[in-house]
Structure 1
Amino acid sequence: MPTVEGMTNPPRHLRQLGIDTQYVLLGFPLGIITIVLCLTGFAVGVGTAIIWVGLPLLAGALAMSRGFAHLERLRIGPVLRRQIPHPHYRSARSKGWVGKLFSPIADGQSWLDMVHGIFRFIPSTIAFCFVFTWWFGALSGLTYPLYDWAVPHTPDNMELPELLGFADNAATRITCYLIVGAFFAVTLVPVVRGAALVEALFARGLLSGVDELRRQVVEANAARDVAQEQKAAAVSAEATALRKLERDIHDGPQQRLVRLAMDLGRAEQQFASDPELARVTVAEALAQTRETLDELRALSRGIAPPILVDRGLQAALTALAGRCTVPVDLDAPVYERLDPAVESTAYFVVAEALTNVAKHSHASEVQVSVQRIATGLLVTVSDDGVGGASLAKGHGLAGLEDRVKAAGGVLAVDSAEGEGTCLTAALPL
């Protein structure tokens, strides 16, 4: 059963047929008006420019062509099924009326508008001929049985059946015209659509094509700059992480291994003179070995936590919250597995934030929230500590900002003195 909306609204291709038809039929008289005014203004302005009188006339003609161009951009939007952006026109640098008057002469888009005003008559005429012919052929052919009686049929007139090699009688004549009308009716939509697109694409190329190309170049340059910033941030983040790892290894496991070697050497000497003391030294060395292994496991979690790889972000954050010395209120629902880079970045954001809370914030509680939003993943870590955190270089969060930026995300910190800290990271998916 067709819906009420389907019964009241015509099909899309019929609506588009009406839009294309009115665009072409109105474009033909507009093309005549535009070519007369633009060509006359251009010719008079250029012809009299030598005596300076033509410059204001030429500027006026360019301003007039800009108005016609704006009207055409509004007209071709429904045909191309998209809004045509208004291009950027060069504004007058001078604040006086003289500079504003002559500013169109120095504007490249104004000259493109003038070129369109002069030459638009060519595609408009071609499109008008096709559209008018196909509509006339379809309507006159399909309705021929209604007015055949009013058409004079004399022996001197060559009828359509005779042109096709058939006998000239009423039935044959009506059949031939119905077949011709059906042909035009069946091909009406694609022909009218093609004619309208030819005229509209010609207009778009001159009236907004250069501006769209300029915008694409600007967007490409912006994307390149963002990619370079992400690359630099990734390099900086990896360098920071490597320096931190080297410092942690030097301050922790390396010192313990040096002490372990010294203890084992002392135990080797004590076995000959005092075996009991040697056993005590070996026991201390074993304790040093266990502590070294614990530190190495902690460092390995900072590089690539196995629980994150095996069980996902929610499980890894739960383990982080359990190890934190400050009570953690974790809100991290179980989502489907995300991109490994996103999960790793979110994990390190929370890990670094909890480390800073435990070391510097003097907080009594910390809230961790991970939310899936339309644009990506939102990670929030807030505490009730002393505040004062910053993303400036030299602070602990600077390297974390580089890691987030390398993943294409944004990191923000709200940390007023005495009011706690709220760290928010938005990561794209």
Structure 2
Amino acid sequence: MTTTITPRRSGIFRQLAVDTQYVLLGFPLGIVTVVLFLVGFGLGVGLSVTVLGFPILVATLFQARGFATVERARIGPVLRTRLPHPYYKKPDPDDGFWRKMLVPLSDGQSWLDLLHGILRFIPSTIAFAFVLTWWVGALGGVTTILWDWSIPRPPDNKDLNELIGLGSGDDVRILLYTGIGAVFALTLVPVVRGAAQLEAQFARALLNGVNELRERVAEAEAGRDAARAQREAAVSAEATALRRLERDIHDGPQQRLVRLAMDLGRADLQFESDPQAARATVAEALAQTRETLDELRALSRGIAPPILVDRGLRAALTALAGRSPVPVDLDLPKTDDRLAEHVETTTYFVVAEALTNVAKHSGAQECQVRLQRSAYGLLVTVEDDGAGGASLAKGHGLTGLMDRVKAAGGEMTVTSPAGGGTRLTAILPA
């Protein structure tokens, strides 16, 4: 029990010390900045009709930046966070003297720094008054018994408490002061913390508020762009898959079905004149039927392989590797835990397309497929020892696969130096 409470108490006392020094030091800093900046701003504006006013204003703004930098460093321990340095406008190296001089005057954050330096004395004074009062009340009250004797009093002083039998006046006074001090001591931590937060949050709003708002807007825009890119990738991947399916059906089963219809028509004509030839034509048509069914099964595996749905990714990839004409070394996670459906489907298509490319184009003797799960997601790696030369450039076969990976919220890279084999890597959220 002691080991768990002590760090917590030490943390509270450490934060109390941090908040106290922040407020006590902030009060004189506030007085310095309000005097310095009001004088500089007043002189700059007053002399703006002459050339001297602009340098004074610029110098005042740079002083405000310096005090703002110090204040951001002081705020960090109070707010328990590190405030980043905001963006300030900078002149171009080719700008002239006067243009460089006027750039700080058009920087909004510099004026916010100046405004903070002028107005900070308001929250600083309020916080200083509360912190000083509570510390004096707490320390003075709980130590009343140590210093009360030093206060001189008339020798014959008898107050009302003694006359009515409540005890000596000194005892009652010490008890009262000690009780008041205990109240101050018990409320010292939240009061000091609240005062420090008041001053720190005021400074944060002026010194980093615009910068934080700009960062949130940038993050929102980046998220919107990522969502748009993911949506476009999904549409592109779907269109590519449909075009490929149409081409495969047209080049394979459709042509076989046309030939099958022609063979059956020829067999119908041959039954009366040449039954033997008709039987041969029918046998050939049956063979065409079986081949057509095999092609349709292969196409259906490319759309939604049943083994993936029924038995999971491990079994589907094992079956896929078994059908590959190039020997495949599988390195899969030991666990059979199922992933999200779209992740498993995308992983299957990545491996299937990669193995197809290995068999058709690489001339590889061996291929390795590796899946690794981590805190970042599912890492899919397909590597071969072939001729290399694969590319993700538009027009290549891997472009549609990359769109499919992006549509699933992942990223894909291909490393394929000429003669050095190909390494395809995809990271998918899992």
Common fold: TM-score over 0.5: yes
User: Structure 2: how far apart are the matches of 1:268 and 1:138?
Assistant: 111
Aligned-residue offset at 1:271: 3.7
Q: Is the alpha carbon distance of 1:149 and 1:372 closer, same or farther for their aligned partners in structure 2, counting shifts above 3 Å?
A: same
User: Structure 2: how far apart are the matches of 1:281 and 1:156?
Assistant: 139
Aligned-residue offset at 1:262: 2.5
Q: Is the alpha carbon distance of 1:59 and 1:269 closer, same or farther for their aligned partners in structure 2, counting shifts above 3 Å?
A: same
Moved more, 271-280 or 189-198: 271-280
In the alignment, is the contact (CA less than 8 A) between 1:330 and 1:369 conserved in 2? Answer: yes
What SS does the corresponding residue of 2:395 show, helix, strand or coil?
coil
User: Structure 2: how far apart are the matches of 1:36 and 1:56?
Assistant: 19
Matched, 1:223 2:249: no
In the alignment, is the contact (CA less than 8 A) between 2:234 and 2:404 conserved in 1? Answer: yes
In the alignment, is the contact (CA less than 8 A) between 1:161 and 1:176 conserved in 2? Answer: no
Aligned-residue offset at 1:160: 13
Aligned-residue offset at 1:304: 1.1
Q: Is the alpha carbon distance of 1:155 and 1:395 closer, same or farther for their aligned partners in structure 2, counting shifts above 3 Å?
A: farther
Partner of 1:383: 384
Aligned-residue offset at 1:308: 1.5
Counterpart of 2:150, as a letter, is A
What SS does the corresponding residue of 1:50 show, helix, strand or coil?
coil
In the alignment, is the contact (CA less than 8 A) between 1:345 and 1:403 conserved in 2? Answer: yes
What SS does the corresponding residue of 2:325 show, helix, strand or coil?
coil
Aligned-residue offset at 1:291: 1.7
User: Structure 2: how far apart are the matches of 1:170 and 1:393?
Assistant: 93
Aligned-residue offset at 1:124: 0.3
In the alignment, is the contact (CA less than 8 A) between 1:47 and 1:54 conserved in 2? Answer: yes
Partner of 2:368: 367
Moved more, 94-103 or 63-72: 94-103
Partner of 1:17: 16
Moved more, 27-36 or 329-338: 329-338
What SS does the corresponding residue of 1:358 show, helix, strand or coil?
helix
In the alignment, is the contact (CA less than 8 A) between 2:333 and 2:373 conserved in 1? Answer: no
Question: Which runs of no fewer than 5 residues in structure 1 stay unpaired?
Answer: none
Partner of 1:195: 195
Matched, 1:149 2:149: yes
Counterpart of 1:230, as a letter, is Q
Partner of 2:339: 338
Partner of 1:405: 406
In the alignment, is the contact (CA less than 8 A) between 1:160 and 1:176 conserved in 2? Answer: no
Q: Percent of pairs identical after alignment?
A: 67
Moved more, 217-226 or 200-209: 217-226
Partner of 1:351: 352
Partner of 2:48: 49
Alignment deviations for residues 226-256 of structure 1 (CA, whole Å, 9 cap, x no partner)? 1111111111110000000011111111112
Alignment deviations for residues 9-38 of structure 1 (CA, whole Å, 9 cap, x no partner)? 952222111111111111011111111111
What SS does the corresponding residue of 1:381 show, helix, strand or coil?
strand
User: Structure 1: how far apart are the matches of 2:32 and 2:358?
Assistant: 74
TM-score (norm 2): 0.92
Alignment deviations for residues 191-230 of structure 1 (CA, whole Å, 9 cap, x no partner)? 1111111100000000010011111111211221111111
Counterpart of 2:398, as a letter, is L
Aligned-residue offset at 1:167: 8.0
Q: Is the alpha carbon distance of 1:96 and 1:288 closer, same or farther for their aligned partners in structure 2, counting shifts above 3 Å?
A: same
Alignment deviations for residues 378-423 of structure 1 (CA, whole Å, 9 cap, x no partner)? 1111111111111111111111111112222222111122222111
Moved more, 31-40 or 174-183: 174-183
What SS does the corresponding residue of 2:89 show, helix, strand or coil?
coil
User: Structure 2: how far apart are the matches of 1:365 and 1:126?
Assistant: 75
Counterpart of 1:92, as a letter, is P
Alignment deviations for residues 71-105 of structure 1 (CA, whole Å, 9 cap, x no partner)? 00000011111000100100023544444344321
TM-score (norm 1): 0.93
User: RMSD of the TM alignment (CA)?
Assistant: 2.5
What SS does the corresponding residue of 2:49 show, helix, strand or coil?
helix
Partner of 2:63: 64
User: Structure 1: how far apart are the matches of 2:192 and 2:156?
Assistant: 35
User: Structure 1: how far apart are the matches of 2:161 and 2:309?
Assistant: 81
User: Structure 2: how far apart are the matches of 1:176 and 1:153?
Assistant: 18
Moved more, 241-250 or 379-388: 379-388
Counterpart of 1:194, as a letter, is G
User: Structure 2: how far apart are the matches of 1:168 and 1:428?
Assistant: 77
Aligned-residue offset at 1:153: 4.5
User: Structure 1: how far apart are the matches of 2:147 and 2:19?
Assistant: 29
Moved more, 191-200 or 366-375: 366-375
Partner of 2:91: 92
Aligned-residue offset at 1:140: 1.1
Counterpart of 2:117, as a letter, is G
User: Structure 2: how far apart are the matches of 1:160 and 1:244?
Assistant: 104
Counterpart of 2:390, as a letter, is A
Partner of 1:304: 304
What SS does the corresponding residue of 2:381 show, helix, strand or coil?
strand
Between the two proteins, the alignment pairs up a number of residues equal to 425
Q: Is the alpha carbon distance of 1:131 and 1:276 closer, same or farther for their aligned partners in structure 2, counting shifts above 3 Å?
A: same
Partner of 2:315: 315
Matched, 1:30 2:50: no
